[in-house]
Chain A
Amino acid sequence: MADRRSEPEMPQAKRLRTGDMDPASNPYLAHHYEDEGNGYGSRNGGRNGGSTQTGLSGFKRHQTTAAQADVAENGPLNPFNNNPLSPRYFDILKTRKDLPVHKQRQEFLNMFQQTQILVFVGETGSGKTTQIPQFVLFDDLPHFNGKLVACTQPRRVAAMSVAQRVANEMDVKLGEEVGYSIRFEDVTGPKTILKYMTDGMLLREAMHDHNLTRYSCIILDEAHERTLATDILMGLLKEVALRRPDLKIVIMSATLDAQKFQRYFNDAPLLAVPGRTHPVEIFYTPEPERDYVEAALRTVLQIHANEPEGDILLFLTGEEEIEDACRKITLEADEMTREADAGPLKVYPLYGTLPPHQQQKIFEPAPPPTRKGGPPGRKVVVGTNIAETSLTIDGIVYVVDPGFSKQKVYNPRIRVESLLVSPISKASAQQRAGRAGRTRPGKCFRLYTEAAFKKELIEQTHPEILRSNLANTVLELKKLGIDDLVHFDLMDPPAPETLMRALEELNYLACLDDDGDLTALGKLASEFPLDPALAVMLISSPEFYCSNEILSLTALLSVPQVFVRPASAKKRADEMKALFAHPDGDQLTMLNVYHAFKGADAQADSKKWCREHFLSLRALQSADNVRQQLKRIMEKSELDLISTDFNDKNYYTNIRRALVAGFFMQVAKKDSSGKTYKTVKDDQSVLLHPSTVLQVDSEWVLYNEFVLTTKNYVRTVTSIKPEWLLDIAPTYYDISTFKKGEIRTALERVNDKVKRKQQTKRPGR
């Protein structure tokens, strides 16, 4: 269902826990924040108590002027911790004062002080992400009353790197005054006054602290990206703002359609700061392209051959496409260097699942000319739309935009959540073009006609909330104390059918009762940073005597694909995969892989072992990490970790039955034709994905995801028995609710068989 393989950060990040906190910072206790005497407040008070004079001592909360702040920033002591400031601090300070936002510091402060909610528009390069939170610190003075300022980021990498940057700017150690909090990683401490975090993390905190009482100011950055978590947070903050008049909220967006945010927040005032950008010349193709990848490669090579110095950024849609393009560009460029005396060209891929150290490579400078005075070297970054807003690469002068990106889509009518290559929006295209003007005037080559730009592209990308299965979100909203989901004021409410499906699914999973209230299982499930189906499977696994195995499997299903199948060695990779294959399906095969990975042989040199077996070490390590986190939550929830004896004949059967407990809604039955399968209840024809190890003679299969391409595929499948469906999920498999047809007939036959068996058994007893 959810393609959690390709974008692992986001879905999980939503439901994270802050990790282990000491009781003083327990958010449950933070409800009493007004009480000066509570541990949380007094500890902070002690730190900045009257005895110590700091650069901020004379400051009155919400009365700071830009001039005062400037003085405090000039030292000589750090205004926040009284440490002497380093020379590096002053170096950075100089560049900070050059940032466009700095000129409007007073204007910002005036507005910030006068209003509860402020919409701030700063184009890329204005310095808003690093500077605005600091401006807020000097005025909000959170440490004087034991609070924090939070700044959310849609991406984990951004939260980490910005926190590091701001820690440097403030001359403090990361994790002390400035910290970050992302999935499975909380780098904050008792001194922390500014916390960068993923929007999903803040949402998770809100689940335990509905009023977000720890914070005196919340800054939602990159709100224009409209992630699911940001949208929910905005809806939540709109309500919290009424309950907490003292809470300041800043909504930061990089695009000028901020009027929408203004309107949504009851006509909040808006402050716009121009970015530091150079003009970008835009070129269109005279005719539509037949093959956008081929056209993109051609354009990159043409730029390399004919345009003056400057790096190139090419936008493509996914990992495979990007790696393929990188290979082809390198080959062609090498030939150009050899034969046409072109400068050297270095190509870097950039996509979400790329290991961080490889992502860092994009910041390396372009290669020098091969000989002195020769044509200059150039670097090409081939990236997904991560390069669109969040990552800023200096030196980019040329942007090649084929106009596509891979976007998540969800449709409640066929219950498919999938990643599809789709045309970008006009807003996206402008954002992409803007990337060329960061260092000097640039050029953007759009691989489509101007008419197509005007006619074919939608104005704005649909926010994630309109493209997602909301089962997870509904569970979160319930946990956030929002009962009326129908009238919850979202900026872009989803279609009614989407909510209906989500509620229905949660009801079948027994997370919500018929009145729409959270059940005990639902409450427990919301503790896990997982899709409800996975969470329910994990929670019920002790009943099937295999919670250890299901825990491993849940972790494996939450990380990117563990199997590696390079284009150059497909056969060998398949042979290696066959070593782990279990005839009953892919989930069991993955489990075999994990067990082998944890074995002594593999652990001796896991890197080599993974390479030899065509497995992704990163994915497996990440699964290991996720498993640890989930295990901790299980222990806290007092869920037993048990295993069936491996030699028991029911070892694998138990696991398959436990899978049914979570995924009974993702089942397909073989067609009478014997070639295709049909999904239960939705009646969609599907094929087993070619990657499956499953033998084709399985009548009933359970699948992890439905992949939409030109063919419908189900991927990661396990064969199951229909008796289990009737036994484990009787409500969903209430035969009377099924349409007349093959599936209903088959279920009736199974039901009769089960009944006969029971009758024949009884007299025998």
Chain B
Amino acid sequence: MPTQDPQTVPPDETEKEQKQEEEEEEEDYMSMIIPEQTLPKRKETYTQRLLRQQREREASQPKPKAERLLHEAAQRDTALSTSLLSSPNAQKNKGLAMMAKMGFKPGVALGSKDNPHARLEPVGISIKEDRGGIGLDAEKKRKFNDEVEREGKRVRAEEGDYRERVRREREVVRLEGQIGAAMRVAESMAGEKEEVEMGVVEVGKKRTISTKPLKSVNILWRGLIRQREEKERDRRMRYDLQQSLSRHVNYDNDDEDAEDKRALGRDVVQHTLVEDLEEEDPELDAFSELDPAERLEKLVVHLRQEHNYCFWCKFTYPNKEFEGCPGLTEEEHD
């Protein structure tokens, strides 16, 4: 490598310097532009100025009394809880210097060294703000704490309740589902049995509306039939409604004669509903009142007795022995 002339500066360095200069210039340039940028501020509009002045007034205005009091008290408390010995100015304190000369060591109390009760901290100050009797503040605090605790307990208790309720609701929904399933099984098995007994096999015929009066259906699954029929009725009514010209399906006008009725399409017998549906069914109502678990149990028992079918095994056993079935309840089938 050639020896470098000490006078000459490496080119890259000069470049750097130049760059720096440029940057500085740029900065200068930038800094010159800043006041320009502030120029528009001076030209604030009248309302802007008003707003600004108001802001400034608010800022310089004394704080509200309550806030000031709090501030004062906070300042006082800070001062009261800060030891003078640990303050940064303590080293310069002449009082402390004199004490040091007398043999004082920070952290050691004054007086005879045999005095274990000598204070290290000054006696605190507490300011009484009202005429409350002795123990009132403590009592208030205690009551407040009690209240907080009670509230906490209540919330927790409610939380527990909620969980329990949700759990119970879910259980009911689950049981109702199983009841529905059991009812369907029971119904179809009963139907099959009946058909077998009657020797009629109508394959493919879909049962829509039972011709049997509702009350003759076994109470265990009568609810299912009734529900189905109600659903069917509603469906038909909706259908009829859509078919009819008049929106007022049930509106019978005495002035209308047969002709009118025909014209309006009302002569068609719309009420093909099972009359049973209109009737009260206290037996069913009483059954529905029962606990879902109880209804389910009754259905399960019915299926076992009548059809040798275990609802939980989903299997029709050949005889009443129920060989291999663990038992009557769902738990036993877990």
Contacts and interface: CB of A to CB of B under 8 A. Distances in A.
Contact of B138 (A456, A499, A500, A737): A456
What's the interface size class on A, roughly? 35 or more
B268 interface: no
Contact of B129 (A402, A493, A710): A710
B131 A673 contact: no
Given A409-B123, A492-B119, A711-B69, A503 B94 contact: yes
B286 to A, nearest CB: 57
Given A412-B122, A673-B63, A486 B103 contact: yes
Contact of B109 (A496, A516, A708): A496
B33 interface: no
A497 interface: yes
A403 B113 CA distance: 35
A422 B134 CA distance: 10
Contact of B68 (A486, A516, A676): A676
A289 interface: yes
Nearest to A293: B131
B318 interface: no
Given A493-B119, A496-B85, A712-B76, A288 B136 contact: yes
Contact of A499 (B95, B124, B126, B127): B95
B84 A403 contact: no
Contact of A500 (B85, B108, B121, B131): B85
B253 interface: no
Contacts of B68: 675-676, 685
Interface in B270-297: none
Given A295-B133, A411-B122, A674-B62, A452 B112 contact: no
Contacts of B89: 737
A654 B130 CA distance: 43
Interface in A708-748: 708-712, 737
A414 B79 contact: yes
A636 B208 CA distance: 130
Give the interface SS of chain A, mostly helix, strand, loop or mixed: loop
A507 interface: yes
A422 B76 CA distance: 18
A494 B139 CA distance: 33
B30 interface: no
A290 B127 contact: no
Interface string B100-119: 01111010111111010111
Contact of A497 (B71, B108, B122, B131): B122
Contact of A490 (B71, B111, B126, B135): B111
Contacts of B135: 288, 448-449, 451-452, 455-456
A403 B89 CA distance: 41
A387 B96 CA distance: 40
B82 interface: yes
A509 to B, nearest CB: 12
Contacts of A684: 72, 75-76, 79
Contacts of A293: 131
A375 interface: no
Interface of A: 285, 287-295, 402-404, 409-414, 416, 420-423, 447-449, 451-453, 455-457, 462, 466-467, 483-505, 507, 512, 514-516, 672-676, 682-685, 708-712, 737
Given A493-B115, A498-B122, A673-B60, 6 more contacts: A451-B135, A486-B104, A489-B112, A493-B118, A514-B98, A673-B62
